[in-house]
A and B are shown apart, each in its own frame.
Chain A
């Protein structure tokens, strides 16, 4: 009666598949399809969202993300180099910055730069600037850690070889170490862009004019104006996936490329 290892594996697989089927069936039976049809999958009423969610919302989300990424990448590179510096003060500043901005919710940063800083310094910033700074400063903290790991992953011999050819430290970093580090961090950096895309939604805490709406704001607006329940949020979510899934695939492609070659 005793089963062989292969038979046992087969039985175990059937049992797992059975549990999955039962769970899905239970979920389908337990669901109130009528209500969900009205308030989540009510696609008949979302017509008015188009084409603005596409022309304005998607466009703004992409712009906000790109601006945040540019600031985050430059700031992150600076912080990473500071963190690896032999000068202790630079290291402390970088460490303090990174721990602070990684440790607080991005939402607070948006509020601080959206309301607090303009109030404290009596300045008037437009939304684009606020997003750029808030998103960029949070992103810089995460990107700094990614870049630091990438810079440290370049073998020490590379720097030594560059220096022994007479390159000053900065030139060796710019021409030899950073290009190699960049190849190493391309996959995690792409993931960082995905996080930024989603974090750009936090701008909803600021007062936006219609031309500044991004995807989430369109979704939230649709909830109150279209009478289709949460369906507009579902549409906004789908648009995020349109951005993030290709990025995900791109990250995976970079990853398999860097596993294959260092070029």
Chain B
């Protein structure tokens, strides 16, 4: 477990914060983000929750510019992402992204999925890239499946490879876009436990999720979005267990299965 501790120290030192100011994004006449401001400190874990269509995925995708915001500023680490002269590719190397649909490269095996960007983008020698990939696959508990192709892996395994792929670039910030929404229920736990370890190691994380149990346990802060605005934010326990806004209360009542999690607790 020495490796994990080393990683923990490294990520803690390198962790990057995020700062969003007055972010607006429209598709045609449909305004999806209506002026969002959000701060994530280095090492902090923030969960974005809210009904579908509330703009939380769009917000997450704006952070590494998979979506171009119409207005507002984004700072990630030392980069001003919204500056037109910024080197987007250089910035994205610091930001790992995990997608709902995994998006593993189907023509490459798990190991190659983790090495291709290392060798082509970071110009690491193949041997070093292999070592890093191997370590990260071990880290997500899949060292023994390194030579499997994506179509030979379960959904949960694919998502863990996707996490290992992102980690292999030594990111300072990890973005998770509903990482467990496309998974079979029995594999959700494995992915969440990988993310939990990552949080413990001090990684800065911004997570869009419907897993309230995870948000309450792992997140430092929870942000509730609805209709393109931040309705409520605060300490995870407080927002989920004792929401102040009526819209938050309503949403949580619908999402939380009372037989699963006792809100009053």
Residue ranges of A at the interface with B (Cβ–Cβ < 8 Å): 155, 157-158, 160-168, 171, 175-176, 179-180, 183, 261-263
Contacts and interface: CB of A to CB of B under 8 A. Distances in A.
B97 A166 contact: no
Nearest to B122: A166
B126 interface: no
Nearest to A159: B103
Contacts of B82: none
Contacts of B147: none
Contacts of B90: 166
A126 B96 CA distance: 56
Given A164-B66, A171-B120, A262-B151, A158 B105 contact: yes
Given A163-B89, A166-B89, 11 more contacts: A160-B103, A161-B103, A163-B92, A164-B92, A164-B95, A164-B97, A165-B166, A167-B121, A175-B120, A262-B106, A263-B107
B116 interface: yes
Given A166-B117, A171-B120, A157 B103 contact: yes
B15 interface: no
Given A166-B117, A167-B117, A171-B121, A157 B99 contact: yes
Interface residues of B, number: 28
Interface of B: 64, 66, 89-90, 92-93, 95-97, 99, 101, 103-107, 116-117, 120-122, 149-151, 162, 165-166, 169
A171 to B, nearest CB: 6
Contacts of B107: 179-180, 183, 262-263
25 contacts: A155-B101, A158-B105, A160-B103, A161-B103, A161-B104, A163-B92, A164-B64, A164-B92, A164-B96, A165-B92, A165-B117, A165-B121, A166-B89, A166-B93, A166-B122, A168-B89, A171-B120, A175-B116, A176-B105, A180-B105, A180-B106, A180-B107, A262-B150, A262-B151, A263-B149
A179 B116 CA distance: 13
Most buried by A among B93, B96, B107: B107
